[in-house]
Amino acid sequence: MRQIKVAIEKLANGGAGFGRCDGKAFFVPFTAPGDVALVRTTVEKSSYAEGALIDLLTTSNQRVAPPCPIFGVCGGCNWQHVAYASQLREKSQIFADLLWRSARVEPALVSPVIPAPEVYGYRSRVQVKVHCHGGKIDLGFYRPKSHQVVDWPGKCAISHRSINLALECLRQLLQAFPGAAGVNQVDLARSDDDHVSVVFTYTGNSPESLAEHLLHWEERESIGSAHIRHHKGTIKVFGEDPLSYRIPENTLPGLPERTLFFSTGAFSQINYRQNLQLIRLVAEFAALTGTERVLDLFCGNGNFSIPLAHGASHVTGYEGYEPSVLDGKKNAVHNGVENISFHCSDAAAAVRSLAAAKEIFEVIVLDPPRSGAAETVSAIRALQAEKIIYVSCDPATLARDLNILKNNGFHVRKSQGVDMFPQTYHLESVTLLTKS
């Protein structure tokens, strides 16, 4: 592969720096706008190329020193080397450019990304890979484009303090377990009261031996509850199951404090403080007056449904993962919310069923997974909603689905990025569409 010099102009979706050489687009990870980089090409196509950074010939003034000693090797972060103000500018531009190119959303309709109050130590959920070799336990993420576990040096810079304390306990616990080679993944999640739940994915023949080891491990103060996921099923080992987070009083005008629970293994946002921004944006875009029927698709545990019920006539939530539906029902009862119902169903099937029953909703909220909701939004017009509020964690699938909605008579009115994932290129967003 050849070596070339590339002047980096900007950051690109996916995290790499972007520049041009010989009329061809070059994507180079771990570069910053303003760098002039010596690059070794790793992929070369007719219209673009990818390269690995060899050396910096000129260093950008947007660069900062990464706090993590394994940044650039671990696959968890892309942009620790870029000043946070620059990360925000780049994310805003990437998002606006992508929506314009792929969905013809005018850049004036896309607001600058809302910054995160915590740029490190914000993750409340993490999926840790485990590798046992020569009596040593490696805990971390995979190296990019590989299945090699990069061992974290005591902690993960973007994970919450309570997650890191639990990780250190886990390292010692697994080090002392003779069957540690059978554990290939550990999922950790925390409540905003710092209760940490741990789920071990175990492929060995005796989950009972791991359970016994966990029960007799004396130094587990940083772990609130533990489960083992095995082909025989999921075993609860110790501790209380439900995790929770608060929605403080007046997060929305007049809203009493709400506490929402979610089951072990169920989805929750990884950044609790930025989740409050999402809730505020959804409510602001909905602009409820108390008379509207609201449909919440991919509703999870009621993260949006329960706050929105405060200003709606009724909220109906649909979710395909049954434990989350049960969480939603429990959350409604716990918070005294009566004008709400939760149902277990695939979102697209729910829309078709509601349309067949001639149900009408003034406002529809959807928060699909990264793969988006193409099938769902294709059928949504029959529900005659005046407003659709689309919460997305992937700008590319958002743009695809916005095109479908535009072809069905909806118009994008505004879109707002929210930085849920500092030090990475990932972006959450909330987009408002209306019929007229």
Contact 29, 7 (CB under 8 A): no
Residue of 205, 202, 215, 201 lying closest to 173 (CA atoms): 215
Place of tokens 């600058």: 112
Q: How far apart are CA 14 and CA 30, in angstroms?
A: 11
Contact 213, 183 (CB under 8 A): no
User: 366 is written with which tokens?
Assistant: 């959807």
Q: Counting Cβ atoms within 10 Å, is residue 306 exposed (0-12), middle (13-18) or buried (19+)?
A: buried
For helices 395-407 and 84-103, the axis angle rounded to 10 degrees is: 30
Q: How far apart are CA 312 and CA 286, in angstroms?
A: 10
User: 96 is written with which tokens?
Assistant: 């606006």
Q: How far apart are CA 27 and CA 111, in angstroms?
A: 26
Residues involved in catalysis: 393
Residue of 399, 398, 403, 394 lying closest to 426 (CA atoms): 394
Which residues is 225 bridged to in the sheet?
A: 197
DSSP letter string, 239-294: S---EEEEE-TTSSTTPPPEEEEE-TTS---S-HHHHHHHHHHHHHHH---S--EE
Give, rounded to a whole angstrom, the gap between the first and last alpha carbons of the chain. 54
Tell me which amino acid residue 142 is.
Y
